[in-house]
Amino acid sequence: MQKTIGIAELAVSRTAADVLVTYSLGSCVGLTLFDPTRGLGGMIHCMLPLSSINDEKARQSPAMFVDTGIAELLRLLYEAGADPRRLIAKVAGGAAPLDDNGTFRIGERNLAVLRKMLSNNSIVLRGEQTGGTAARTMYLYLDSGRTVVKSRGREVEL
């Protein structure tokens, strides 16, 4: 069953029939984490890099921010039995869709914080489709851990 992860949302599943999907990854980043031994995975769609800009929003919606969102996703995966040594991480997004002349560089900053969070947790990034200007849709198939990204009529498996 397809389950949509909206902007500033996350989900964890171990149901093999589930497909987690998130749409409109522009400057936002989508991250999938999958433990192949447990058949357990999760997805998050983060908008902004650091929660320090609004502590109250971070408490209400940790997935809005890369730092608090990834921490929450990891917490939920570990509670469900994931082994951090087996997690397969893949990312999409981090684009500059409005070509803002690099003023805010939110996509770049989102990716930098994401990479730091994964590194701090000893998780290796195994696939990515990031940057550019195109929006992306990301899928995680729980039956296999396969991560697929669709953009501009093309489909790529990470």
Please confirm, yes or no, whether 28 is among the known catalytic residues: yes
Neighbours of 115 (CB within 10 A): 15
In the set 28, 31, 40, 92, the catalytic residue is 28
H or E element at residue 14: none
Question: CA-to-CA distance for 85 and 43, rounded, in angstroms?
Answer: 18
Find all residues with CB under 8 Å of 64, minimum gap 6, and list them.
8, 46, 47, 48, 51, 57, 58
Write out the two tokens for 85: 């040594």
Active site residues: 28
